[in-house]
């Protein structure tokens, strides 16, 4: 295992390097070979299938039990939390069974440098996302620019426990799990084919946006995904991209929490 770690764990750009130098480093230093990794695109397809099928199953069970508008909020919470956590858990399990574990295969680690880089890129990402969201809302209308989850909770009078659960899902659980799936599992599958990190960045960005199945927001989701992917591209680890993703989701999640409990 020591040998695998020394071969597979990538070196990150030195903290003293600037952003431009870090980007140049991407081309000069390709990703090390993924020794011992025996999973690829099939693993990602399996994880996505588990996510979709579990969400469909939970929704079907809820409707069969006669879920009404009052308890549909709980149904959506369960239908969001359980599938994404199952999918992320399966992704991690695959790396143990068919690879070297999530730290090596998914680059799932968090360092001080990751936090610092994530915060810097996250601030820029927030500015970019806010500008893009305002522009997109002016083009398609505010009602079409709002996410499906956001539409459900904006006018809902939620119990405090449900509102907090929703906030935790949007701000932390969802971003962490999505990073494991897209910029962890899918990114690793792309690199295993011998493709470049730039190819992994582009492919994961596009699939991330499309997979949300919100046609009116796909272009906005593409913009949101760019700084998240850049953090993964530069540091070669999930830690920084998780930080950026959490920063992007935190303010909308907090706003929906305050609206849901009637504070604003």
Report pLDDT for 2.
39
Report pLDDT for 90.
98
Report pLDDT for 15.
45
68 CB-contact burial (10 Å; exposed 0-12 / middle 13-18 / buried 19+): exposed
Q: Where are the domains of the chain?
A: 105-260
Q: Per-block average pLDDT, block size 10, for the chain (264 residues)?
A: 43 51 57 80 98 90 64 71 96 97 96 96 91 78 58 61 85 96 97 93 96 85 95 96 96 82 72
d(CA 121, CA 252): 18
pTM of the model: 0.84
Helix, strand, coil in percent for the chain, rounding step 5 = 80, 0, 20
Q: If you search the block for the tokens 């499906």, which residue do you land on?
A: 148
């Amino acid at each position: 295992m020591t040998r695998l770690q020394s071969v597979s764990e990538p070196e990150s750009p030195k903290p003293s390097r600037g952003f431009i130098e870090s980007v140049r480093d991407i081309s000069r230093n390709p990703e090390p070979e993924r020794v011992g990794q025996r999973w690829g695109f099939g693993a990602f397809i399996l994880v996505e299938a588990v996510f979709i099928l579990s969400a469909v199953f939970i929704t079907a069970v809820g409707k069969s039990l006669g879920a009404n508008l009052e308890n549909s909020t709980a149904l959506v919470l369960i239908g969001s939390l359980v599938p994404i956590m199952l999918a992320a858990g399966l992704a991690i399990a695959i790396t143990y069974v068919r690879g070297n574990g999530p730290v090596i295969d998914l680059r799932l680690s968090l360092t001080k440098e990751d936090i610092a880089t994530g915060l810097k890129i996250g601030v820029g990402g927030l500015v970019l996302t806010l500008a893009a969201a305002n522009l997109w809302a002016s083009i398609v209308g505010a009602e079409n620019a709002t996410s499906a989850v956001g539409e459900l909770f904006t006018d809902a009078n939620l119990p405090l426990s449900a509102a907090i659960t929703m906030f935790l899902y949007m701000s932390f659980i969802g971003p962490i799990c999505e990073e494991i799936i897209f910029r962890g599992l899918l990114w690793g599958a792309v690199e295993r084919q011998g493709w470049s990190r730039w190819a992994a960045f582009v492919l994961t960005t596009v699939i991330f946006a499309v997979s949300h199945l919100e046609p009116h927001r796909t272009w906005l989701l593409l913009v949101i995904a760019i700084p998240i992917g850049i953090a993964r591209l530069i540091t070669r680890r999930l830690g920084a991209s998780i930080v950026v993703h959490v920063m992007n989701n935190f303010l909308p999640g907090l706003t929906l929490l305050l609206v849901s409990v009637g504070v604003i």
